[in-house]
Amino acid sequence: MRILSLAVFLAITTPTMGRPATAQTLVEERWRRVEPVIAELLRRPDVAGMSITVIDDFEITVSRAYGVRTTASRAPMTPNTLVQAASLSKVATATAALRLVERGTLALDEDVNSRLTSWKLPENEPTATARVTLRGLLSHTAGVAVGGFQGYPSGAEVPSALQILRGAAPANNAAIVVTEVPGPQRYSGGGYLVIQRLLEDATGRSFEQLMRGEVFVPAGMGRSVFALRPPPPLGPEVAEGHALQTSGELVEVTYQHPELAAGGLWSTSEDVAQLVSGLLRSWRGDRGQLLSPESVHGMMEPLGERRLGLGVVVREAEGGKGRYFMHTGSNVGFRSMLIGFLETGQGAVLMFNAEVDRIVPMELLAAIAREFGWPRFSLR
């Protein structure tokens, strides 16, 4: 392994069990050729720490972390460090919703107001023309307002989910309503808060309980939680968010996100990769996976001009190498990305505890793709 010059650059590895020694040796050789790129990225002023997991042949093969989880203490990032996943939360939320559809608890194409009991989308002119459905909410075609959420700084009053839906103080967003006839694709974090309320009303469970039972446990995501802040025993190893100031200093920023389904997931890159690999194996048709082949094929069907699936962005790899799905995440102080190639069973999850420039994940993905032989792809 290439030894970096500072301890904060030290890679802490999670061993991969059960793989033939020769296969794991090849993985390590490939990763050694990625590490110089990581070392260079860690020298950038906008980078604090990063958590990286690689999927190859439908299995997790590399899980490592670099840098620091907080610039104040210089505590190192490890593969167990919890990071805000931001909008990667939507992939987990969509998976839970589709599991409920499989059991008949929900339906993709029924009016969501027929199942919402504790709150309903206000009726207006657009809803009189076309009803809002779960499929529309998952694919951002429901015409629902509020693209994203700002979050709430540490110490600020945090609104309830109902206050956020109504746009009532202390919520800092407009009311979540239908602003145009459903159909066109308009990215809507607000729509995912409607899904959160729908899942809770349909099951009688809190969102946190539901996600643990429907996604975290079956996917093997043992260090994941939807919360304002991870509670003990998950809490001790938590990454703080960071933002680069005009002075050139990278400072800690602490924001809370009560809009759980849209961006409130705390996780590790390895846990999120468990979700990605579970979806890949579901696509392959393995039994006992997160979703049935029918559900995951529907999830990965690109819709509209932006080619959004249900909870994911879907693209075609170059050279007829099949589809891949992806999602990015951006909360105050954090950035994240996931990608999975459906036919080849490859992919990666990248999580950063700073507002890194777009070039950082792009260069890292390019290095991983080159060494692990991914199909050619574009993130545009």
* Helix H or strand E segment including 315: strand 313-316
Do 148 and 257 reside in the same domain of the chain?
yes
Contact residues for 26 (Cβ-Cβ < 8 A; gap 6+):
none
Task: Quote the pLDDT of residue 200.
Answer: 98
Do 226 and 371 reside in the same domain of the chain?
no
pLDDT below 70 — which residues of the chain? 1-21, 380
| Length of the chain in terms of residues written | 380
Residue 279 amino acid letter? L
- Taking each helix axis from N to C end, the angle separating 89-102 and 189-203, rounded to the nearest 10 degrees, works out to 40
Residue 233 sits in a domain of what CATH number? 3.40.710.10
Task: Quote the pLDDT of residue 10.
Answer: 35
**13 within some domain:** yes
Task: Quote the pLDDT of residue 20.
Answer: 55
Do 184 and 284 reside in the same domain of the chain?
yes
**83 within some domain:** yes
**379 within some domain:** yes
Which pair of structure tokens corresponds to residue 195? Answer: 């899904």
Do 83 and 40 reside in the same domain of the chain?
no
**350 within some domain:** no
Instruction: Please tell me the distance from the alpha carbon of residue 126 to that of residue 90, in angstroms, as a whole number.
Output: 25
Domain termination site, one of 310, 343, 372 = 310
What's the predicted TM-score (pTM) here?
0.93
Domain termination site, one of 255, 276, 310 = 310
What is the total count of domains within the chain?
Answer: 2
**345 within some domain:** no
Do 300 and 218 reside in the same domain of the chain?
yes
Do 131 and 254 reside in the same domain of the chain?
yes
pLDDT digits (tens, 9 = 90+) for 309-330: 999 999 999 888 889 999 999 9
Burial class (CB in 10 A: 0-12, 13-18, 19+), 321: middle
**174 within some domain:** yes
Instruction: Please tell me the distance from the alpha carbon of residue 74 to that of residue 333, in angstroms, as a whole number.
Output: 16
Task: Quote the pLDDT of residue 5.
Answer: 35
Do 244 and 173 reside in the same domain of the chain?
yes
**293 within some domain:** yes
**317 within some domain:** no
* Helix H or strand E segment including 29: helix 21-42
Domain housing 239? 79-310
